[in-house]
Structure 1
Amino acid sequence: MSKPLFTIGVTGLNAIDSPGSGVGVIRAIRDSQDFEVRIIGLVYESLEPGIYMEGIADKSYMIPYPSAGRESLLKRLAYIHEKEQLDLLIPNFDAELYNFISLGPEFRKMNIRTFMPSLSKLESIDKLHLHEFGEKYGYKIPKTHFLSGPSQIEDIETDFDYPVVVKGKFYEAYIAHNAEQVTGFFHKLNAKWGLPVIIQEFIKGTEIDIAALGDGNGKTIGAIPMRKLYITDKGKAWSGIVIDDPSLLKLTRKFTRDSRWKGGFELEIMRTEKEELYIMEINPRFPAWIYTTAAAGQNLPASLVNLAMGLPVSSFRKYEVGTMFVRYAWDNITHIREFEKISNYGER
């Protein structure tokens, strides 16, 4: 019996020192034995490494930045769909999710599927509303304050002890030990991601990340916890190991049940010396290390494809503890004519 062939558009091919998850998602999808696949890379920059890596994208197209708005994205994807006949879209950046989710009805008219949460679900767990979500459902969330201007920085000393964590609206976080450092990070994050800039209580402990997939009805299809072994100066995991911890899996299942999350996500957890589990952040998409879940026995991206396409999916019950990933940098050789295709014509 022949396997179905799906054409899937995937973003996040920026496999750099602060990587998107697109390359890992694609690698996992290509490992699936349930279907055949043709991958269309959707990129924002002509030098995203995933464009040029062998065995990643079958073809790549430039798409407009999220700031260009929904209509620009829809127009470009309609053009790509006309040429490629997309079956499914898998966006992998926080900042692009609003446009992709809000265009869901238009995608359905084009017979393009997605598997993402609603806009209200997305908003409920973002950095601006996470504390409210925690209070509603009984999670430990660090104390949080929002800065809309530098004049408010001196006020945080009333509610916070140093150090504090200074976070951008979408990405990046820095530890500040005094008001001067907070001011510097405020201007840096505001310039890059806009307001508000977020101040979060510093929680001392062991950082653990959990990659998981929810079916949208409260069921956890799979979940794998990972402890970082090596962290870059940007706070990104350059190496990590899959661990066994029932309390982390219990917390993940509770989140999926409470939120009825639809799609991939990552919980960033801090475990204190008292074994308290604080949710530091919830990322509404798969993390960059997502291929490790497939290597450990739970291919979450492939399961997302099956869910989106209406194929049967069973929940995973086990995984290989001790599975590790170690990132590395190498020189991927290409030619200027390949770069010119994407930079001059918007597709390769």
Structure 2
Amino acid sequence: MTKALKISFIILIFTTFTFFAGCSDSATPKTQEKIRLAEVTHSIFYTPLYVAIEKGFFKEQGLEVELFNANGGDKTMTALVSGSADIILVGTETTIYVYSQNPKDPAINFAQLTQTDGSFLVSRKPIDFFKWDMLKGKVLLGQRKGGMPEMVSEYVQVKQGIRPKVDNTIIQNVDFANLGTAFVSGTGDFVQLFEPVASKIEAEGKGYVVASFGKDSGKLPYTVFITRQSMINQSPEKVQKFTNAIYKAQQWVENHTIEEIADVIQPQFQDLDRKIMLRVLDRYRSQGSWATDPIIDEAEYHNLERVMENAGELKSKAPYEKIVNTDFARKAMR
């Protein structure tokens, strides 16, 4: 299914459920401050969110957050517009795709969590002094077309004088969850992976992290919290309380060691070796992946547009002020 058809399908679902979702919100007793939160995947990349959960920052705001993994950008946005999620954590690009369909109840970005790409380039062999032009003539096991990781990969390559899919081969038909397994099984010379998969493969001696896409692509609103305009209109206090908790978690992460952070988020990753967890946390902190406040910066938003334009995925622009609301973030910081 093409990206356009997927988005059209999402909008169709949205149109069908808007009325009923609105009724559901109004019928919910005010004493039950529940938030259904869908995340695009479960990753240490989203550490401040898990800190907010484990440290009880949502509970302090009178919120009960029900977190679930939607497993993919399209599924995550579908969860929002169908009414099965109140808030979602996913890339800003999804709201741009939806905005292009002129929805009656647009998806609004209201709080930023990560400000860089969170993926790494993993090589089959160790490379002491990696240069991006080493991708020329090679096979890269990449991410899905239209998704932010793949767009960032192509953006970085172009900046380094590489013509993606011309100077190299990019495989894009492997599911996100199976990328690490496919690489270990022998597919590709390089693979683009998120943590902790990259570090797990490295610890097993089956691959080696040689570069960071986040360092070389610049800051952008990579992963943000999004809700429907109708929820902002009907339950602004919920959105504010949610943002307050996220900001408190961001500040907590900023002011604590990776060892202390690991202690807090361990329940979210019970099967992950502590040494690997510390390595992952150190990588994300060292490259400034976690936003220290929830404001979605306009300059970073325009950098996102450049990344999408480079990939040929920005068919029409969505004005910043139409899909971004910084009121809750600014109030939380006050």
Whose strand proportion is higher, 1 or 2? Answer: 1
* TM-score between the two structures when normalised by the length of structure 2: 0.31
Using CA pairs below 8 Å that are at least 6 residues apart, which structure has the higher relative contact order? 2
Whose helix proportion is higher, 1 or 2? Answer: 2
* TM-score between the two structures when normalised by the length of structure 1: 0.30
